[in-house]
Amino acid sequence: MVTSSWAAAHAQTAASRRRGAVLERAILDAALEQLSTVGWNGLTMEGVAAGAQTGKAAVYRRWPSKEDLVADALRAGLPQLAAAPDLGSVREELLELCRRARDAMFSPPGVALRSVIHECDTTQAERFHGVIFEGVVEPTIRMLRGVIERGIERGEVRPDAANGYVFDAIPAMMMYRSKMCASEWPDADLEEMIDQLMVPLLRPNGS
């Protein structure tokens, strides 16, 4: 009969044999798990090492600081945002984008990202600016631009609506209500935001 101590020793030995990309992936996953459960302030290199079932030295060899580790974990874990859908209606397309954004926001990498945004001080946050901009902001704006420009071509959207203030409206509202109102953005709230904020904002003059 296999004893629990033998099983634990076997698991530790197996973990110690991991090398290269397999071990790095385990460490990055453990960092995301730490961020989504204990947040930025609670994350430690020791806790990440324990979660990845490896030694602390293996973590520090690859990432000399907590900031370096978290930046790579976010870069590897954030979902790839697909192209904006063509559903024949700007309202339906915006709703679909909002559903995707909500699902990403409340996924483990999304929770991890929000813990970094909400808990880091200004100096620390600068370290993650590029990761957030390239992984979240740029893809979101690109999708919103695609939806709005297609709406302009259909005559559903006023021609001057393709601007930065309009593109910022949905992400800003979703982040604000998530943080300040603890909203988890059920479908009904997404529909209300689109119908009461975005559709009137985008509607051509006189329609």
State the pLDDT at residue 54: 94
| N- to C-terminal Cα separation, the chain | 77
30 contacts 22 by C-beta, under 8 angstroms: no
Question: Domain ends where: 35, 67, 99?
Answer: 67
Average pLDDT on 101-111 reads 86
Q: What is the CATH number of the domain that holds 31?
A: 1.10.10.60
User: What are the tens digits of pLDDT across the range 20-48?
Assistant: 889 999 999 999 999 989 999 999 999 99
State the pLDDT at residue 114: 85
Average pLDDT on 176-205 reads 93
User: What are the tens digits of pLDDT across the range 108-155?
Assistant: 888 888 888 888 888 887 888 888 888 888 888 899 999 999 999 999
- What is the pTM assigned to this prediction? 0.76
> CA-to-CA distance for 47 and 55, rounded, in angstroms?
10
State the pLDDT at residue 108: 84
State the pLDDT at residue 148: 95
Examine the pLDDT at 175 and tell me if it is beyond 90. no
> CA-to-CA distance for 21 and 17, rounded, in angstroms?
12
- Domain hosting residue 113, numbered range: 78-202
193 and 155 in a single domain? The answer is: yes
For the chain, the maximum distance between any two Cα atoms, rounded to a whole number of angstroms, is 80
> CA-to-CA distance for 157 and 144, rounded, in angstroms?
13
58 and 160 in a single domain? The answer is: no
